[in-house]
Amino acid sequence: MAASADLPIQAPASELKDRDRKYVIHPHQRADRDERHIIVRGKGSTVWDAEGNEYLDAMGSANWMGQVGHARPELAEAAAEQMAELQYFTGFDVYSNEPSIRLAERLAGLAPEGIDRVFFTNGGSEGVDSAFKAARLFHFRRGEPDRTWIISRRLAYHGCTYGSGTASGFDLVQHGFGPNLPNVEKVTPPLPFHSELYGGQHPTDFLVNELEQTIERIGAGNIAAMIGEPVMGGAGVVPPPDDYWPRIREVLSAHGILLIADEVVTSYGRTGVWFESQRRGMNADIIVTSKGLTSGYMPLGAVLIRNGIADAITEAEGFFHGHTYFGHPVACAVAMANLDVLEREGLLDRAKQIGEWFEADLAPAREFPTVGEVRVAGATAGIELVADRQSREPLLAGAAAVSAELRRAHHVIVRDYNATVVLAPPLVLERSQARQISEAIVEVVSRLRGDGTLSPR
C-alpha cells in the first residue's frame, strides 16, 4: 500500500525510522541491525540527522566520496540550469548532448597519455562490467574470442552486479546468489602487513610468481584482463609495495592481457592525484571511475578507455552495451561543476595535506597493542586492528565496536571493513576537524581490548 503523501518532508525522527523499517530494503544491512540514522542535511564535512545531532563525516557520506563536501550551491545550480535546458535525452546510437561531450573531453585531458575515449555509467559496478565487456569484445574483434577469463584478487571490492560481484574477493557479495559469472580467477592481494601470506618471500616476488603460474595454468590465450584497485580500499586502505604494479603490468603485457584499474575510490583527488593508477605505474588500459566524479551529487561513472581498445569496440556493429542514463546531461553538468571546484580550490593538494595531518595525529594510535598498522594514502586511511601484535589475528569485532563508539560517543562517522577502521573524508576537511577525528580515534582505540570489547571511558 502506498505511504501517505501528506507528511511534511521532515517528519519526526522516530516516525521516519518506523517508515524506513517498513518500506526500505537497505543494502548490506544485517537483520539484527535495528538502529537507523536518518541524515537530513549537510554542509562541508558536517552532517545532521533527523534528531538534530551533528556528525563529522570522516568517511565521505560513509561511502568514500564527497570530494568537494556537502551541499555546495555551485553544484546545485549547475543541476538546476541543465534541468531547465535539457533534462535528458538518450546518448544511444546517433544522439548526444553537450555536457557529456564536454565532460568526456575534459576527462581525456586529465587521463594518462593514450586514453582519450570515455564510456559513461551510473556508478562503479556498471563501470566494472562495462570494462569487462570492453576487454572481451576487444579480443573478440581482434580474432581472439577465447580470451574471456578475468583475473582479480581476493579481498577486492569491485561492485555488486554479477560481473563486478564475481570479481570481488569475498564471500558475502556472492553467497546465495549463484551461479556467479564463470571464468573469473582470484589471486592473492598485496597486503604487506600480512607477511604470512607470502611464505617468507618479498610480497611482490611471491605475487608475480603466482600470477605467472596462474596465467600458465589458464593459458594466456584464454585471458582477457586483470582488474585491480591501485590502492585497495575495502581491503582496508592498503598501498601495495612500490614495485608491485610495474612488475604485474610487465607480466600482463608480455601475455597480451589487458589491465583494468578500478579507480572508483582512488580517482579525482582522493589520494592527491587525478588517477592513482598512473602514479603507481599501472599504465592501465581501462580506468573505471565514479564517486569523486560528481562527489555524489548525482549518480555517474566514467570508464576511460585506451584509444586502440576504443577503436576495436566501436567498429562494425559497435558496443552493444549501455544503460538508459548513459551520459546523463544533468549528471555530466554537475560533474563539470565538481571538477571546477576541485581545480579552483586546489583540493588535490588538500588531499595530500589531509594525509599528512592523519599521519601526524594518528601516530599515538600506533603504540596501542590492538593496533596492527596505520596506513595513509592521501585523504584516506586505514587503522587495522589485531587481537595482539604477535599473532596479527584480525580483530573483526574490534573494528565494528570502534566504529559504533566513534559515532555514538564522538559523533564521528567512519566505516569498518573487516578488522580495519577506514577514513575517507571530504577534501574540504579543515585542520581542526582532522584533529578532532584523529583524537576521537586515538581515544576509542586506547580502550580497545584484545577480545574486541571496549573498556569504559
Nearest CA to 266 among 309, 234, 241, 242? 234
| Cα 81 to the center of its chain, rounded Å | 29
Q: Does 123 bind ligand PMP (CB under 6 A)?
A: yes
> Residues 322, 328, 334, 340: what is their CA dihedral angle, to the nearest 10 degrees?
60
C-alpha span between 240 and 249 (Å, rounded): 14
Indicate the residue among 235 and 442 with the shorter CB distance to ligand PMP: 235
Does 226 contact ligand PMP by CB under 6 A? no
CB closer to ligand PMP, 190 vs 452? 190
Question: Smallest gap, in angstroms, from Cβ of residue 185 to ligand PMP?
Answer: 18
Is residue 229 at the binding interface for ligand PMP, with CB under 6 A as the rule?
Answer: yes
Q: Quick check: 100 binds ligand PMP (CB under 6 A)?
A: no
Taking alpha carbons only, the member of 205, 194, 188 closest to residue 373 is 194
- Residue 384 makes contact with ligand PMP by CB under 6 A: no
- CB 288, min distance to ligand PMP, A: 7
User: Does residue 277 belong to the site contacting ligand PMP (CB under 6 A)?
Assistant: no
Per CB under 6 A, 82 contacts ligand PMP: no
The stretches of 318-346 forming alpha helices (DSSP H) are 329-344
Q: Which is nearer to ligand PMP, 44 or 60 (CB)?
A: 60
Q: Which residues pair with 165 in a beta bridge?
A: none
CB-based contact 304:117 (threshold 8 Å): yes
Residue placing its CB nearer to ligand PMP in the complex, 269 or 452:
269
Q: How far apart are CA 140 and CA 3, in angstroms?
A: 50
- Contact between 271 and ligand PMP per CB under 6 A: no
Q: Find out whether 299 and 28 touch, Cβ atoms under 8 Å.
A: no
Provide the minimum distance between the beta carbon of 10 and ligand PMP in the complex, in angstroms, as a whole number: 27
Give which of 379, 374, 350, 378 is closest to 363, Cα–Cα: 374
Which of 44, 66, 99, 159 touches ligand PMP by CB under 6 A? Answer: 159
Point out which residues pair with 117 in neighbouring strands.
305
Sites for ligand PMP among residues 287-326 (CB under 6 A): 290
Residue where the block lists cell 570479481: 167
Residue 162 CB, shortest distance to ligand PMP, in Å, is 12
How many angstroms separate the CA atoms of 116 and 309, rounded?
11
Q: What's the rounded Cα separation, in Å, for the pair 333 and 227?
A: 29
Give the count of residues interacting with ligand PMP (CB under 6 A): 15
For ligand PMP, the binding residue among 137, 248, 257, 265 (CB under 6 A) is 265
Query: Rounded to whole angstroms, how far apart are CA atoms 179 and 441?
Result: 41
Nearer to ligand PMP, 57 or 262 (CB): 262
Should residue 233 be labelled a site residue for ligand PMP when binding is judged by CB under 6 A? yes
CB nearer to ligand PMP: pick between 159 and 292: 159
Q: Which 163-222 residues touch ligand PMP, going by CB under 6 A?
A: none
Under rule CB under 6 A, residue 240 binds ligand PMP: no
Interface region with ligand PMP, contact rule CB under 6 A, candidates 152-160, 213-221, 302-310, 431-439: 152-160
Q: What share of the chain is helix, strand, coil (3-state, %, to 5)?
A: 40, 15, 45
Name the one residue in this structure whose C-alpha cell is 573487516.
418
Per the CB < 8 A criterion, the answer to whether 425 and 45 are in contact is yes
Residues facing 150 on adjacent strands: 184, 225
Of 64 and 325, which has the nearer Cβ to ligand PMP? 64
Measure the CA–CA gap between 313 and 140, rounded to whole angstroms: 9
**Minimum CB–partner distance for residue 444 and ligand PMP (Å):** 24
Look up residue 137 and give its three cell numbers.
Answer: 569484445
Quick one: CA torsion of 26, 30, 33, 39, rounded to 10 degrees?
-30
Note whether 286 binds ligand PMP by CB under 6 A: no
Cis peptide preceding 246, ω within 30 of 0: no
Please identify, among the stretches 144-152, 185-193, 262-270, 312-320, the one whose residues bind ligand PMP according to the rule CB under 6 A: 262-270
Q: Does 125 bind ligand PMP (CB under 6 A)?
A: yes
Tell me how far, at minimum, the Cβ of 417 lies from ligand PMP, in Å. Answer: 10
Q: Which stretch binds ligand PMP (CB under 6 A): 35-43, 259-267, 388-396, 438-446?
A: 259-267
Query: Which residues are at the interface with ligand PMP (CB under 6 A)?
Result: 64, 123-125, 128, 157-159, 229, 233-234, 262, 264-265, 290
